[in-house]
Structure 1
């Protein structure tokens, strides 16, 4: 048997997914996300500090004076200026959380791990000089060092925490949980910090600062001899992008090239145009700023266009529009550190490739005399298209920019779609894990099922809970599907069970058990239950003149709803509002609901039954309910759980189903078997005395209009089954 080889694109997607799901890259994303509020505020301060035109700068200074610069510098110092430190803390915290999840228990308090790593950072990276210290804390110059220290320091600390001899039993030291966490890993923390102190001394002894300076000099040398060639332009931009990819401000790191090559070429071109001559140099500071860094390093305005073209959800479009505002003025920190682009394996290729292709386009247009060389000074915050015209003095500059933007968007687009696929897969994996938790019977009667979970599940639960609260109150997202219930003795469809559905605007369908668990966690289960009941009754009212009068809609109840003394009145009010007969509604309760019967619950059921509403006991046979509930509760129907639908000859299930069917007939109760999926199951269950069924063998849950047609077709031509 031969296996079809994967296409290159699928192989790339698979590799990106493996890398993207690695603990290191997960920690990078979340660590940088922690600094996102700082980045957005800092981006606005950058725009105020460096407006696109001299006129705007003059107007701002006239309005606010030099206090504006002081204000902006203070904001930048408190936001982007400490972004590396914030990312460092978040990275270490997440790395410890992921380590605890893999271990299956809390090996170390994440906050303690973050504090140790911050100490390692200041021990190794931070200098005594104030200017150097602030530079090491900023996103542009300090992020790479911060993440490197966080990775090494965090890994070392967690490794040492796993050595039993280095742990102090916390219960011997303090009753305070946090104090105990700190003391238990104190030896590991001390060893980690001392290791970095030794490393700092070793680096000084080896002359590391001198090596770094020499490397910078060598980095400049290859370009100096080819300063006006295509090789120079591509090489310089590649080096800048590679540095940015690792969180290092590329243009700042390559400032020597700017100082000795780009700036002199820029001034020479401006002077030539001012004197009526022709500019000589293609590669100037303005060339790169205008044609290769539209939206910021990486041509990120093209990425935003690709995001707008690819993302179909409202949330995706909103994100692209939010980051577009600073990107229009070439401030791309929100994308670099918020998406993030830094250390992102999915976007690495287009991040490097897009500005290089844009350079080739602009270079070709210049060499072919389709566009003048850049000869006018423009602020780096000047928006794209206008900046192309302003820097070249020609509309052709704006046209070349437009072509570069479109080509860049085409480069980014497949990788944006890849990112969407990977994000969707991660989300679906987390939703699957949440579903297992929500369906687990081992749920604490105190606490919450989902909101207090650690890791991705907890974050997803919190986000979904916030969205659910809004979805319950507005139309559209919460809706119902209906699964027909069939009486094989008559061949008629006698009813349908209303099933909750939530179409999340980003994640798509969210499984009903998750919805119910979240609603329970945020104390919205009563509101959700009434919403479902109201929707079901509205639909039954819409079927009034189409389906038979005895057609019943069944609705599931939660335990909390029955505990509300006024619940029966709410149900009757809904029935009156929709003009329904109580006999057209059936309320389903579960065994777990009635495990410990409450006086209000029993009272609600009795009053509703007296009014004519039918009552069904759902999931019967799961093992929780004593048989005396069949006598004590006001029931009309017993729904046999789907786990008993597989009744092979002589099996325990066969004996249980036969006993339930016999007892139900004795008590004058109807039985409905759930989860019937095959004709063989149907024949065996019918032979055991069951007549009414529900399951995929007959129909999946259907939209209201489809369910209506199914019922009409089935009742006009009664279902013929070979029993």
Structure 2
């Protein structure tokens, strides 16, 4: 029983390793770049090739006779250059990943992209205008684009690493781009020359049109078995494998369509007209209706699987967004937007789902549950209607429904696998963002996270957008509360409200990351006021249970205090939540607090005048601690958790004792954070500290659990060490 999970985990590990290879990451990013073109081109396809002649006439009547001209031009400017745009995106992404791995800008991505584009036109683009157009197009040109981008990009980056091929002129020019170009000039020239030699070698071997020759060779094996089920399985498998590598499968196997499938369709149609016997099962219309529901790969089933089992908002939104074009069998947005091309996670279902659907339709015909396809349909005919239209029977629609269900079941486990791997990778990137957000080197930067390169930067940008939505959504932003204990009396005298964000896909996002991203994105004020409002609301809900001296502590961002109207906003919240000012304590963080500003001090003084308490958090870890004590109106000092680990004769011991003595002299309340064990507690108590906060007493708790903890402590036997 333990072998299956072990094998499954091993399979996941292999898929994860492949998926994280820089090559596949660059492929996904490169294929995402032409998405605006693909979506525009998909619309043009639906208008240019409607599902019926009557629909085409109606569109011409509504939009005028120039509709086809408009669509053709739109297709030329979108799908017509899709391969070139994908090549550009791949080369740029591969170079950025290369530089990221080395830790510095080794090669300028723009220069690398120009070299790869030159290699593409040198090797792939033909002399005639028609061949050139095909080489640039999304369908027929993608194979050449990926081949050249892979070979040319990797070769150029490899040559750039050879010291003797680098010209050290980067610092001799005032323009950094000029320096970048001269530095890799020999490597770029050599790469382009090698591709020119490869073109000459291919021409000498008789391969003047590489893509066309490959298409003919691929089509040859299928023409002999057109009546066998092995033909249907083999043809669709070959088509899907080609699509998996970014090659338009039906176009690459056009010889099969021209010499086998279209003649079979014509023969069946003629038999229907003449009342004869239909001879062929596998026709062009059969594959259009039963193998490519939603487009190649049976991707309508993938969309249904995403809607059924996706646990992420992104997955469901993507499925809904792609649903309309998929109903008309246009799946390029999904192929390149998810993406499916060269995606190791979806490789198996992408090939298997349409094969299963073919076998279901074939079996239905063999056992006479459905007529053979005897009518011609446009490839954009909507799913479910196409099953009826191609067979002339509603049984065709029922078979399509059964095939859709089967295809969905094929995709479901791989959707779950993809989300598991994405979630795991997301947690790793979040951990990296947490390290960056907490690093003192990044604390003074204008933007700690949003300007980061690589996956961390992209994650931060996505989180900034999600945070904006979360602030507006009920339940994502919430609070937990950590009790503050007076060890001398055993009473809980307060609780600190702590920010929590439950991201719908990534789960809990660490508070330092949330704060850093909110600061970067300019959402600090809004988020801070929401936290303050939630904390005041909760304290007011406890008014009948807890004593009047129980204080709710809330952290402030330094930026909030620089708002001239901040004190008014706090007072508005207190009035709205019907909270006494003396029940609220505002904590300002000493380690990140801006030097006392006139506006900040004015805000704090105005709030203290009405009874709001002010605490200085993380005291003792900065260079300006005493300066803050002199300048700021304070009620409480909180010693940083890094000083809580004291030992006899240590520096921490002397600092804590000095702060305790100073607090008593200034009549300030002193709280020590981060107390985690009994030894720390005894040492700190011996130094004159009585008030504590930390895991030794309690972890942060949900509101109901915190209330239970406080009532048990305040009316129970108390704490003992």
> Could you tell me how far 1:200 is from its partner in structure 2?
1.1
> Could you tell me how far 1:98 is from its partner in structure 2?
0.5
> Could you tell me how far 1:473 is from its partner in structure 2?
4.9
User: Following the alignment from structure 2 to structure 1, what is the Cα–Cα distance between the partners of residues 695 and 161?
Assistant: 50
Pairing 1:152–2:162 present: no
Q: Summarize the Cα distance change of 1:664–1:242 in structure 2 as closer, same or farther, 3 Å threshold.
A: same
Query: Per the alignment, in what secondary structure is the counterpart of residue 89 of structure 2?
Result: helix
Which residue is 2:639 aligned to? Answer: 640
Alignment of 1:527-606 (within 5 A): 527-594=526-593, 596-606=595-605
Alignment of 1:690-709 (within 5 A): 690-709=689-708
User: Following the alignment from structure 1 to structure 2, what is the Cα–Cα distance between the partners of residues 720 and 153?
Assistant: 70
> Could you tell me how far 1:227 is from its partner in structure 2?
1.3
Deviations 1:445-498 (A, max 9, x none): 453211211111112222222333343355443322211111122222111111
Q: Summarize the Cα distance change of 1:210–1:460 in structure 2 as closer, same or farther, 3 Å threshold.
A: closer
Which residue is 2:609 aligned to? Answer: 610
Which residue is 1:53 aligned to? Answer: 52
Q: Summarize the Cα distance change of 1:397–1:678 in structure 2 as closer, same or farther, 3 Å threshold.
A: same
> Could you tell me how far 1:220 is from its partner in structure 2?
3.4
Q: Summarize the Cα distance change of 1:349–1:23 in structure 2 as closer, same or farther, 3 Å threshold.
A: same
Contact 2:591 2:621 in 1 (8 A): no
Deviations 1:287-311 (A, max 9, x none): 1111111111111111111111111
> Could you tell me how far 1:511 is from its partner in structure 2?
1.8
Which residue is 1:27 aligned to? Answer: 26
Which residue is 2:376 aligned to? Answer: 377
Pairing 1:661–2:698 present: no
Which residue is 1:450 aligned to? Answer: 449
| Greater shift in the superposed pair: 621-630 or 703-712 | 621-630
Q: Summarize the Cα distance change of 1:594–1:259 in structure 2 as closer, same or farther, 3 Å threshold.
A: closer
| Greater shift in the superposed pair: 352-361 or 455-464 | 455-464
Deviations 1:525-556 (A, max 9, x none): 23322222222222222222222111101111
Deviations 1:408-438 (A, max 9, x none): 1111100011111111122222222111111
Which residue is 1:327 aligned to? Answer: 326
User: Following the alignment from structure 1 to structure 2, what is the Cα–Cα distance between the partners of residues 563 and 385?
Assistant: 61
User: Following the alignment from structure 1 to structure 2, what is the Cα–Cα distance between the partners of residues 599 and 508?
Assistant: 40
> Could you tell me how far 1:345 is from its partner in structure 2?
0.5
Query: Per the alignment, in what secondary structure is the counterpart of residue 481 of structure 2?
Result: strand
Q: Summarize the Cα distance change of 1:508–1:232 in structure 2 as closer, same or farther, 3 Å threshold.
A: same
User: Following the alignment from structure 1 to structure 2, what is the Cα–Cα distance between the partners of residues 171 and 258?
Assistant: 55
> Could you tell me how far 1:132 is from its partner in structure 2?
0.6
Deviations 1:56-101 (A, max 9, x none): 1121223334311111111111111111111110111111110111
Contact 1:173 1:183 in 2 (8 A): no
| Greater shift in the superposed pair: 573-582 or 514-523 | 573-582
Contact 1:83 1:138 in 2 (8 A): yes
> Could you tell me how far 1:334 is from its partner in structure 2?
0.8
> Could you tell me how far 1:211 is from its partner in structure 2?
7.5
Alignment of 1:171-320 (within 5 A): 171-209=170-208, 216-320=215-319
User: Following the alignment from structure 1 to structure 2, what is the Cα–Cα distance between the partners of residues 447 and 668?
Assistant: 37
Q: Summarize the Cα distance change of 1:74–1:605 in structure 2 as closer, same or farther, 3 Å threshold.
A: same
Deviations 1:335-377 (A, max 9, x none): 1111111111010111111111111111111111111111111
Query: Per the alignment, in what secondary structure is the counterpart of residue 591 of structure 2?
Result: coil
Deviations 1:250-309 (A, max 9, x none): 111111111111111111111111122231111111111111111111111111111111
User: Following the alignment from structure 2 to structure 1, what is the Cα–Cα distance between the partners of residues 287 and 625?
Assistant: 78
Deviations 1:601-641 (A, max 9, x none): 23333333333221111112224334354344322222111
| Greater shift in the superposed pair: 562-571 or 266-275 | 562-571
Which residue is 2:412 aligned to? Answer: 413
User: Following the alignment from structure 1 to structure 2, what is the Cα–Cα distance between the partners of residues 384 and 564?
Assistant: 57
User: Following the alignment from structure 2 to structure 1, what is the Cα–Cα distance between the partners of residues 232 and 132?
Assistant: 32
Gapped regions of structure 1 (runs ≥ 5): none
Contact 1:490 1:718 in 2 (8 A): no
Contact 2:437 2:443 in 1 (8 A): no
User: Following the alignment from structure 2 to structure 1, what is the Cα–Cα distance between the partners of residues 526 and 240?
Assistant: 52
Alignment of 1:67-146 (within 5 A): 67-146=66-145
User: Following the alignment from structure 1 to structure 2, what is the Cα–Cα distance between the partners of residues 219 and 421?
Assistant: 36
| Greater shift in the superposed pair: 252-261 or 525-534 | 525-534
Which residue is 1:401 aligned to? Answer: 400
Pairing 1:392–2:391 present: yes
> Could you tell me how far 1:159 is from its partner in structure 2?
1.7
Which residue is 2:494 aligned to? Answer: 495
| Greater shift in the superposed pair: 518-527 or 270-279 | 518-527
Contact 2:305 2:411 in 1 (8 A): yes
User: Following the alignment from structure 1 to structure 2, what is the Cα–Cα distance between the partners of residues 139 and 628?
Assistant: 64
Which residue is 1:677 aligned to? Answer: 676
User: Following the alignment from structure 1 to structure 2, what is the Cα–Cα distance between the partners of residues 347 and 596?
Assistant: 54
> Could you tell me how far 1:53 is from its partner in structure 2?
1.8
Deviations 1:666-716 (A, max 9, x none): 332222121222233333333332221112222222222332232223222
Deviations 1:366-412 (A, max 9, x none): 11111111111111111222111111122221111111111111111
Contact 2:490 2:718 in 1 (8 A): yes
Query: Per the alignment, in what secondary structure is the counterpart of residue 671 of structure 1?
Result: strand
Which residue is 2:162 aligned to? Answer: 163
Query: Per the alignment, in what secondary structure is the counterpart of residue 614 of structure 2?
Result: strand
Contact 2:596 2:632 in 1 (8 A): no
User: Following the alignment from structure 2 to structure 1, what is the Cα–Cα distance between the partners of residues 138 and 226?
Assistant: 29
Q: Summarize the Cα distance change of 1:138–1:324 in structure 2 as closer, same or farther, 3 Å threshold.
A: same
Query: Per the alignment, in what secondary structure is the counterpart of residue 149 of structure 1?
Result: helix
User: Following the alignment from structure 2 to structure 1, what is the Cα–Cα distance between the partners of residues 85 and 593?
Assistant: 50
> Could you tell me how far 1:512 is from its partner in structure 2?
1.6
User: Following the alignment from structure 1 to structure 2, what is the Cα–Cα distance between the partners of residues 700 and 314?
Assistant: 31
Query: Per the alignment, in what secondary structure is the counterpart of residue 139 of structure 1?
Result: coil
Query: Per the alignment, in what secondary structure is the counterpart of residue 683 of structure 1?
Result: helix
Query: Per the alignment, in what secondary structure is the counterpart of residue 549 of structure 1?
Result: coil
Contact 1:492 1:718 in 2 (8 A): no
Gapped regions of structure 2 (runs ≥ 5): none
User: Following the alignment from structure 1 to structure 2, what is the Cα–Cα distance between the partners of residues 281 and 566?
Assistant: 79
| Greater shift in the superposed pair: 645-654 or 233-242 | 645-654
Contact 1:591 1:624 in 2 (8 A): no
User: Following the alignment from structure 1 to structure 2, what is the Cα–Cα distance between the partners of residues 215 and 338?
Assistant: 27
User: Following the alignment from structure 2 to structure 1, what is the Cα–Cα distance between the partners of residues 48 and 490?
Assistant: 77
Query: Per the alignment, in what secondary structure is the counterpart of residue 139 of structure 2?
Result: helix
Q: Summarize the Cα distance change of 1:470–1:215 in structure 2 as closer, same or farther, 3 Å threshold.
A: closer
User: Following the alignment from structure 2 to structure 1, what is the Cα–Cα distance between the partners of residues 5 and 672?
Assistant: 45
| Greater shift in the superposed pair: 263-272 or 175-184 | 175-184
| Greater shift in the superposed pair: 404-413 or 356-365 | 356-365
User: Following the alignment from structure 2 to structure 1, what is the Cα–Cα distance between the partners of residues 594 and 529?
Assistant: 22
| Greater shift in the superposed pair: 403-412 or 502-511 | 502-511
TM-score normalized by the length of structure 1: 0.95
Contact 1:135 1:141 in 2 (8 A): yes
User: Following the alignment from structure 1 to structure 2, what is the Cα–Cα distance between the partners of residues 5 and 298?
Assistant: 28
